[in-house]
């Protein structure tokens, strides 16, 4: 079963420096029917104005993944991490017992576009941590594993039995992915348009997937998708 979540139906936070679309309930946006899916708790689609950003703020007991689509984000945290995450990089921050961080767009002219993803951890009280990977061209033409419980081989390690795949398709290209028995999935289209098992999805659309053994992505135009393999 595939349940479509249209981009235009997501929650919205609109400030003079921030435009954020919320797939699930977040902050002042609350929808009792959209409080996450399986262990996936947040997908925020953020546009941040030049030279603006989020000041230092705390998190705990959450696996937080940031995927930069355009521009770059300057990250600082209470672990002492200082990094710049450019477009095409993914970052994992384990909040665990508690962490403070800030996210800032260092460009004086260019907007920053990123996806912020929260996944519930397998346990409370995990030691906080940070990891960053560059995807390069390994998502082109295939679904590449970029975050998993085991990590390694180019994937971030997350403290949950879940996997995040990212795939970039050319127009006319298709990709297949099998799902193990009893697994759920969530799909988010970050660019372009795809058909998911015959269901049309456009940029910003998402889909909850349950009781499907195989997913087929067919792209009528260049597209990029995120696929979450979930318990």
Q: Give the residues of the chain that fall short of pLDDT 50.
A: none
d(CA 81, CA 78): 7
Of 68, 29, 76, 26, the C-alpha closest to 48 is 68
Beta bridge partners of 75: 83, 103
Q: Which residues pair with 176 in a beta bridge?
A: 216
The predicted pLDDT at position 34 comes to 97
Backbone angles phi, psi at 166, to 5 degrees: -125, 135
CB atoms within 10 A of CB 138: 15
Instruction: Report CA torsion sign: 148, 150, 153, 156.
Output: positive
- Residue 145: CA atoms inside 13 Å, Cβ hemisphere, count? 16
* Range 20-34 burial, b when 16+ CB lie within 10 A, else e: bbbbbbbeebeeeeb
Q: Which of 192, 167, 84, 126 is nearest to 200 (CA)?
A: 192
Strands 156-157 and 184-191: unpaired
Domains by residue range for the chain, with CATH: 2-230 (2.60.120.10)
Whole-number Å distance between alpha carbons of 19 and 105: 14
Helix (H, G, I), strand (E, B) or coil at 82: strand
Q: DSSP character for 182?
A: T
Q: How far apart are CA 105 and CA 126, in angstroms?
A: 29
pTM of the model: 0.96
Strand 99-104's sheet: what is its strand order?
53-59, 99-104, 72-77, 82-86
Structure confidence at residue 73 (pLDDT): 97
Q: Residue 106 region, left (φ>0) first, then alpha (ψ -120 to 50), else beta?
A: alpha
pLDDT tens for residues 204-231? 999 999 999 999 999 999 999 999 999 9
């Amino acid at each position: 079963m595939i349940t479509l979540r249209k981009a235009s139906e997501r929650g919205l936070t609109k400030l003079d420096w921030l435009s954020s679309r919320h797939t699930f309930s977040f902050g002042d946006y609350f929808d009792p029917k959209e409080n996450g899916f399986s262990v996936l708790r947040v997908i925020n689609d953020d546009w941040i104005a030049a030279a603006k950003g989020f000041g230092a703020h705390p998190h705990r007991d959450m696996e937080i993944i940031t995927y930069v689509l355009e521009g770059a984000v300057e990250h600082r945290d209470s672990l002492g991490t200082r990094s710049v995450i450019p477009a095409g990089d993914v970052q994992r921050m384990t909040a665990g017992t508690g962490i403070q961080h800030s996210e800032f767009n260092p460009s004086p002219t260019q907007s920053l576009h990123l996806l912020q993803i929260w996944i519930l951890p397998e346990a409370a009280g995990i030691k906080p941590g940070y990891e960053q990977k560059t995807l390069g061209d390994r998502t082109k033409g295939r679904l590449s594993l970029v975050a998993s419980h085991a990590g390694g081989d180019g994937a971030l390690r997350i403290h949950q039995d879940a996997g995040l795949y990212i795939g970039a398709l050319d127009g006319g290209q298709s990709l297949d992915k099998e799902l193990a028995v009893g697994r759920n999935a969530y799909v988010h289209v970050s660019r372009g348009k795809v058909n998911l098992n015959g269901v049309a999805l456009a940029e910003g659309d998402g889909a909850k997937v349950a009781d499907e053994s195989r997913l087929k992505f067919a792209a009528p135009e260049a597209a990029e998708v995120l696929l979450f393999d979930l318990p």
